[in-house]
Structures are given as C-alpha cells and as structure tokens.
Structure 1
Amino acid sequence: MRITGPRLPRGLRARFVVAFLLATAFGALLTAGLTFHQARSSILERSRSTAVADLRVQLGSLTPGLAFPPGTGELRGLAHQLDQVGGSRAWRSSAAYRDGEPVSASPGTPPVPEALREAVRERGRAVYQHIEHDGRPWLAVGMPVAYADDPGRPGDGGDGGSGSGSGSGSGEDERGGLSGLAVYASFPLDDERADIAALLTAARTGAVPALAVAVVPALFAARGVLRPVRRLRRGAERIASGEFGTRLGVAGRDELADLTRSFNTMAETLQRDDAELRRMEAGARRFAADVSHELRTPLAAMAAVTEVLDEDAASGVLPADTADAVRLISEEIRSLARMTEDLMEISRFDAGAAPLRAEELDLRTLVTKTLQLRGWSGDERVGADLPAPVPVRADPRRVDVVLANLIGNALRHGRPPVTVAARAEGGRAVVTVTDRGPGIPEDVLPHVFERFYKADTARTRSRGSGLGLAIAHENALLHGGTLTAANTPDGASFTLTLPLATAPREQ
C-alpha cells in the first residue's frame, strides 16, 4: 500500500490564502510568545520582590528580641513565628546560625538548597532560588540578619533584591556587620502558576479568532491579486483558440500591469504574423490552383499527341533513338499530368469544394477492387486479410485513392509482403496497411502527411508528386475518419478509420 502525505493546495488562490494565514499565525504566535514571556517574568518578579519585602518586614519585628548567640530552641521559635505570620503565602521557614544546619518548626518544610546557603554566606544579602518540592514549584528566599547600631541587637539584613536563579539582593547593611544568623523562607508558586496557565490559555484561545479574522483580508488580498491573473488566463485561452484580436485592459503600474502590457504586445505581434502567414498561404494556394488549371489544357493536348507517337514507336515506324525519346517524353508528360491533377485536388480541398459521394458498401469489396484495378490481386507481394464483412458509408473513388496511395507507398519505400487488413473495431471500420521494411525514421514520422515533404532532401526528383499521402489524409478527414502512421516491430503501418454504416454481422 502506498502511503501519501497530505496534499498541498494546488490553486494559486488557496496557496495565497494559506501563505497569508501562515504569516498571520507566525506573527500572532511571536507576539503571544513575547507577551507571555514578559508577563510571566513580571508575575515571578513581583512574587519575588513581595516575598523579600515581607520577609524583611517580619525579620525587622521579630529578630530584635532574639537572644544571641541563638540556640536550636531560639531558631525553631523564630521559624515558628515566621510560619505564623506567613498568612496566605503559607511560608515554610527555617533558620540557621553560622555553619549550622537550618532548623524548621513546621513539617513539610522544603530542604534548603546548599547553593542557596552558599550564596547567602558569600554575598551577605537576600537571594532567592526556584526549586521543585513534591512536584510543585516553590520559591526559596534566603536572607542574612545584620547587627543594628547596637552590636548586641540583631536586625534584618540589607536591602533585598532579586535576580535569576540564586540571584542576590543589596549589599551588606551599612549600620553594622552580619550577625551570622540566616533565615530561609519557602512558599509554593501555585497562584503564580495558575496565572501563567491562564495567560497561556488566553494566548491559545485568542490565536484561533485571530486566524479566523485574518481569513477575510486574506481573501480580499487574494482576490485583488488573482483578478488580473484570471483575466490573463482567459485572454491566453482566447489567443490559443485563434482570437488574435484579444486585448486586455491595463490598470495600475505594478508588475501585473506590466505583464498585461506584455500580453497585449504579444497578441498584437501574433495577430500581425498570423495575417501575414494567411496572406502568403492564400497566395500560394491561389498560385497552385491557377497554375494547375492553366496547365491542364495544354497537357491534355500534349498527352493526345504522345499517345499517337507511342503507337508509332511501338509499331517500329520510328528509328530506335527517336522511339526511346518519344517514350521518355510520354512518361514525363504523364507524370506532369498526374501532378497537375493532384494539385487541382488539393486546391479543391483547400477551397472546401471537394465533393463526397458516399454510399453504403462492404469495405472488403473496396479493398478487393483496389487490388484488382492496380494489378495487385495476384501479386505475391501484396496480401489481404478480410475475415468478416465491414459495412461502411463512403465514397468508393476516394477510398480507392487512399488505399492505392498507401499500398503503392508501402511497395516503393518498404519491403514485401504488404498486408492489407480490414475489420470493425470500437464502432469504426479500420483498415491497416503494413509492410516489412525498415520503418519510418522517427524524425520523419510527424511529417509524412505534409505536402511536398521529402525525408531525403538530397532526392530532388521522385516518381510521385509528393502529394499522395497528403491527399489520402484529406480524403480520410472528408469522410469523418482518420489516417495515422506508426512503426511496428516488422515495419511501417498506416491505419485508416472510417465510420461504420451499421453494426457488422457476426460470423
């Protein structure tokens, strides 16, 4: 089973709208991301600043009455008092003196990170650190306690501050040195996490309406861009159908307007060239018709005279050299007469004046008569494959011309045996003429039905007029049929199709 990925939109309009929406989505996501990051940072910064300020206030009221150096009981009592005044923030506090372990008063107090304790000892100012406890985010704040003016009375440490990670606050209090007492308070960031989650939800929710709203300007923009493209497409289709007088209105000064101007210039050039070619073609056809008509009468007289001379040459009345000359002249006059008749026939096709005298008959009869009239019925070089009746409605004379041209062409340029087969196939009468020669060169195949076309340009003279296959093709079209040429493994094959008169009888 072949698995294919999602199909990309193929229409230019769809791709334009998708690109517009992607750009809008990228801009919306970028704006939402920056806003979310800024709001998150502001929420956490506010929580850190408020926590440091609250802890400083509480220490300022609780530590002045603390005995120094404090023992474990005094440290636990201080932690207990801080837990009680934590209020809605739900502090979990602990206190440590110098290098001693932090002492807490409430169960479930998060352990103080060693990095936070080191930062408090080294920097001597309030610091904070984000930690994870029981799968929840917490903020741990550490604050050293400094001596007040009286060295025996400790007070809160210097001005607190915030930073990222284990950031530090202000420097050492100017009123005295550090007492060695450090207080640590941790509280969960559930409210802040809820606020951040709400921001994220709002950003996600707002992105969908933004994209929905962006569809409207995307459609209008696509319409404005694609309208000239559609006009150009319709204009190109009219040019392709032969309407070279097509012109498009130009509006604006953008690239599409320049493209429209180029289209109009192209259409004007095509119209001018088409008119010139039609004029030249009409002149050539008129010349061929006039020449063939003018030649017909003198050629008829010459043919009558040569017939008499042929009889004299055959009877031996004329000397041998004269007889040979007479026979040569007679042959050339007959060739010129055939060419004249072919030119006149082509002229009738061009003028639409070629008559079609169709009648219903069996295609096998037409093939048989053609072989008999040309002396091919008993010729071993030509064979017929006519297994069943093939009723057609056709002009016998014109079908005979087609078959004679195809069979004669196969004998001259191919190799025997030449096979003529007739059958009914797909509601049409089909005749194939196949030889056993080398076939038709691939570069010649598309041109075999062109007038006066010669595969070998060095061959300036031939026995034919160069119009045989062209006349055969025109006769096929006149019947509403087709005539095609192809190569088979055995040689060249010409296929003539004609409309059936009635359904053929089954044998």
Structure 2
Amino acid sequence: MRLARVRGLRARLVVVFVLLAGLAALTAAGLVYRQARDLMLARTESSLVNEFRLRVATLTENMRHPPDRAALQRLANGVAPAFLSATGAAVYRDSGLIASGDRTGPITSALRQGIATRQRLQYQRVISGGTPYLVVGTPVLLGSRRTPSDVQVYLVTPLDTEAADQDALLAAALNGVLPVLALAVLLALLAAGGVLRPVRDLDRAARRLGAGELDTRLKVSGGDELARLVTTFNATAAALEANVSELREMEVRARRFVADVSHELRTPLASILAMAEMFEEEAGRLEGDLAGAARLLNLEVGRLVRLVEDLMEISRFDAGAARLVLNDVDVADAIRACLRTRGWYGRAELDLPAGVRIRMDPRRFDVIVANLVGNALRHGAPPVTVRLGGDDQRAVIEVRDAGVGVDPGLLPHVFDRFSKADAARVRSDGSGLGLAIALENARLHGGSIDVANPPGGGALFTLTLPVAGPR
C-alpha cells in the first residue's frame, strides 16, 4: 500500500512537471508567434499605407475643386493598378459610390464614418468570405490649402500571403512544442526519481523498522529537508533500538527472577504443605479456634503451592522450554478422565461422541480442560455443559455455563495474566494464571481458545485443536 502511494506521488509529480513544461513551452511559442505575426502585419500595413498615401497624392495633385465624375473615375482607375495584390479601389463622394474596381465589399460603414469624421487616413483588417483583407481609406484634400472635397478613396488588398505565412509560423511553433514536451517528460521523470528516491528509501526503512529490524539506518547525503528528515529517522531508530533493547533485557531479568523465585519457593513450600496437612489431620483433636486455623492454613498453603506451580509453568512458556509429549488420544475419554480425577464428573452435562481422536499431549490437554471446566463450575451457574464436535481437520470442545457471562468490555482481557478485573470470571484456582496457561497450552498444540457471551446468557469457551497435532 505504501509503495502504491509512492508510485502515485511519482506519477503526480511527473504530471505536474509535464504540465508546467508544456505550459511554459506553449506560452513561449504563443508569444513568439504573436510577436512575429504582429511584426509581419505591421510591416505589410506600413508599406501599403505609405504607398497608398503617395499614390493618392500623385493622382490628386492637379485635380480641380470640385472634381467632376471623369476625374473621380480616373482616380479610381489609377489607384488599384499601382498595387499588384489589390483586388479593388473605390471612390466615394458624399455618401455615394462614384467609381470602383473589382472588389470593394470589405469596405465597412464604420471605416467610412471614421474617415469622414476625423478627415485623415485610416485602415482596418476585415475578413470577408473567409478571406482576410486590409482596407485603407483617406479623404481627398485638394490644392495647396488642403481643401476638403467630400471625396474618399479606398484600396482593398487581400492578405492571403500573410495568412499563409501566419499558418506556417503557427505550425512551426506547434512543432517546436512537441520536442520541448518530450524533453520535459524526460526531465520530469529524472527529477521525480531524484525527489522520490529518498522517500522510497524512507518507506522501505520504516517498514523494516516496523518488522523488527531495529538496526535499520539510512545514508545521509546533502543538506536539504530530506537529508534532515533522514537524520531524524536515524536518530529515532537508534533511540528506539536502545529502548527496546533495554525493555527486552528488563523482561528477561523479570522472567528469570520469577522463575528463580518460584523454584526456590517450591522446596520449602512442599515442606510447609506437608506440615499443614498434618495439622489439618490433627484438627479434630485441637481445641477452640486451632482446628479452624489448621484447616485455613492447609487451604492457603495449597493455594500458594498452586500459584508457584503456575508461575513456574508460565516461566517455561516464556523461556520457550515447554515441550509436548504427543500421543494418539481419544478426546472424549480424556475429558471424562479429567473430570473424574477432580471429582467433577457428576457436576457437568456431557455431550461427548466417541471416536474423536487427535494427536496431543495428554497432560497439557488435561490442564486446559481442568482450567476451562473449573472456571465454569466455580464462577458460572449450572448447568455447565461440555460438548465435543469438529471434523476431519479439527476437534472443537465447548464449555458453557448459565451464569451472567463476562462483561463485554473485559472479553479481550480474559486470558491476560493476573487479570482480576472480574475475579468471578477470569481467575482459576485463585492465581489469575489458569486461563493464560490454558491458552498457552492450546497454542503449543497449534490451536486456540475463544470466549464469548452467547444468546441465552452465560459464558462460552471454545477450544479448537488440530486433529493431526501441531505442525
């Protein structure tokens, strides 16, 4: 998932680089095209306008005021031939057309109105029938005094050549953008790779660190933000490695201490238990409170002995010293034997079909069943049922009581060691370790234990073990 996000970020960076490069290339090409086009048109317009002004001045130099129609016709006929590309010329007096050449349609009323109002030469670009034209017009001023004659002269010139040149220029600009974009993609890939390589390295390092490789470090290069981030990562990884190492050492020392204390207590407790049993046997001969004290002493010493035995068993699991002695066992017979040994056979309802055999350690299976059934008998409510089921792959043993069940908020902590949040449900034999030991034994067999509050009340513990034994 992280790798997919890094790849997505790389793709987004490439797209951003390409878009920026493309925008820059298009902008540059557009500016070049616009400048070249404007320069081309300005040069053409300037040349035509100057030539038109000189031609009109030459033709009207000796024209009398007011000019007659023949003079105006000669003026119209004399303007257009001077320009090879011109398609027509026109002469207007007042508001009427006096004479014209081949094509005068592009002459607009707005241009004529502007010339009549300002009394000076003007021009405009016009598109007529899909063809661009340059239309130039000027008022005719006669004599040395430049007397207005109410006559206007116009020249219509197509801009086909200029339009073709503009199209060629635009095509060249667009063709120039393509290699720029290709180069931009290449540079974007290189830049994105350079930017994201440290990110990918950080991602892989973080995953290795999360997987427990606490000695993971990255090489610091450069002095930018990413380099500072790598430095921070290395410092964090070093601090984490030191803290975890310290915690592991503390855990090892704590487990060793528990194992050593349990072992050291075992021998004197055995002697104390023997003496307590002797005192309980003589309780009938004791007077007053001594008899009750003798029985209580034997009970509490027995609990202490069981706690020490449970601590030693837990320490074996923690040290990885617990081993299985596997046999082919009939599950129903093993459950009945467990209940008979502890005097519980008549206190539980059994549904144990015959013929279910699995490979398991009988002693450890006995511990599991004893903890589950004993927990239900002591802290649940009757009836307590033990049901055997499963298939060719697994055996399933269900132990259920009819009590109030387990607080839903405590269900995830039922198998925690020394869990006493609900002493009526999670303690076994008073040590708080019984269910934890049962779960460890189940896991050692490759199985599991689950707990739930089923409909109808009570608590349901489900032991699942593989038929073929642990792998």
TM-score by length of 2: 0.86
Given candidates 414, 421, 428, the residue that maps to 1:448 is: 414
Point out the more displaced range, 236-245 or 280-289.
236-245
Question: Which position in structure 2 is the counterpart of 1:43?
Answer: 40
Q: Which amino acid aligns with 2:468?
A: A
Structure 2 runs not aligned, ≥5 long: none
Whole-angstrom CA distance in 1 between matches of 2:109 and 2:236? 82
Whole-angstrom CA distance in 2 between matches of 1:36 and 1:486? 78
Identity %: 50
Matched, 1:322 2:323: no
Given candidates 88, 93, 100, the residue that maps to 1:92 is: 88
Question: Which position in structure 2 is the counterpart of 1:505?
Answer: none
Matched, 1:55 2:52: yes
Instruction: Tell me the CA shift for residue 431 of structure 1.
Output: 3.7
Whole-angstrom CA distance in 1 between matches of 2:55 and 2:403? 113
Question: Which position in structure 2 is the counterpart of 1:110?
Answer: 105
Relative to its length, the structure with more helix (as a share) is 2
Note the 1:367-446 alignment, pairs <5 A: 367-379=335-347, 382-384=348-350, 390-412=356-378, 417-424=383-390, 427-435=393-401, 439-441=405-407, 443-446=409-412
SS class of match (1:409): helix
Q: Which amino acid aligns with 1:319?
A: E
Q: Do 2:349 and 2:383's aligned partners in 1 also have CA atoms closer than 8 Å?
A: yes
Q: Do 1:82 and 1:91's aligned partners in 2 also have CA atoms closer than 8 Å?
A: no
Question: Which position in structure 2 is the counterpart of 1:20?
Answer: 17
Deviations 1:365-408 (A, max 9, x none): 444444444455443xx555556854432212212222332333
TM-score by length of 1: 0.81
Q: Do 1:415 and 1:436's aligned partners in 2 also have CA atoms closer than 8 Å?
A: yes
Q: Do 2:61 and 2:142's aligned partners in 1 also have CA atoms closer than 8 Å?
A: no
Q: Do 1:368 and 1:377's aligned partners in 2 also have CA atoms closer than 8 Å?
A: yes
Question: Which position in structure 2 is the counterpart of 1:275?
Answer: 245
Point out the more displaced range, 19-28 or 234-243.
234-243
Question: Which position in structure 2 is the counterpart of 1:160?
Answer: none
Q: Do 2:120 and 2:138's aligned partners in 1 also have CA atoms closer than 8 Å?
A: yes
Q: Which amino acid aligns with 1:196?
A: Q
Computed over aligned residues only, the root mean square deviation of the Cα atoms, in angstroms, reads 3.3
Count of matched residue positions in the alignment of Structure 1 and Structure 2: 465
Task: Say if 1:70 and 1:371 are closer, same or farther in 2 by CA, change over 3 A.
Answer: farther
Note the 1:57-456 alignment, pairs <5 A: 57-64=54-61, 66=63, 68-72=65-69, 74-87=71-84, 89-97=85-93, 99-106=94-101, 108-149=103-144, 176-313=146-283, 316-319=284-287, 321-379=289-347, 382-384=348-350, 390-412=356-378, 417-424=383-390, 427-435=393-401, 439-441=405-407, 443-455=409-421
Q: Which amino acid aligns with 1:60?
A: A
Structure 1 runs not aligned, ≥5 long: 1-6, 152-175, 503-507
Instruction: Tell me the CA shift for residue 342 of structure 1.
Output: 0.4
Task: Say if 1:498 and 1:102 are closer, same or farther in 2 by CA, change over 3 A.
Answer: farther
SS class of match (1:140): strand
Q: Do 2:371 and 2:428's aligned partners in 1 also have CA atoms closer than 8 Å?
A: no
Q: Which amino acid aligns with 1:112?
A: I
Whole-angstrom CA distance in 2 between matches of 1:61 and 1:10? 75
Whole-angstrom CA distance in 2 between matches of 1:49 and 1:457? 105
Task: Say if 1:372 and 1:129 are closer, same or farther in 2 by CA, change over 3 A.
Answer: farther
Whole-angstrom CA distance in 1 between matches of 2:241 and 2:180? 50
Q: Do 1:9 and 1:15's aligned partners in 2 also have CA atoms closer than 8 Å?
A: no
Point out the more displaced range, 129-138 or 465-474.
129-138
Instruction: Tell me the CA shift for residue 355 of structure 1.
Output: 1.8
Question: Which position in structure 2 is the counterpart of 1:499?
Answer: 466
Q: Do 1:370 and 1:400's aligned partners in 2 also have CA atoms closer than 8 Å?
A: yes
Instruction: Tell me the CA shift for residue 338 of structure 1.
Output: 0.8
Q: Do 1:361 and 1:393's aligned partners in 2 also have CA atoms closer than 8 Å?
A: yes
Task: Say if 1:274 and 1:65 are closer, same or farther in 2 by CA, change over 3 A.
Answer: same
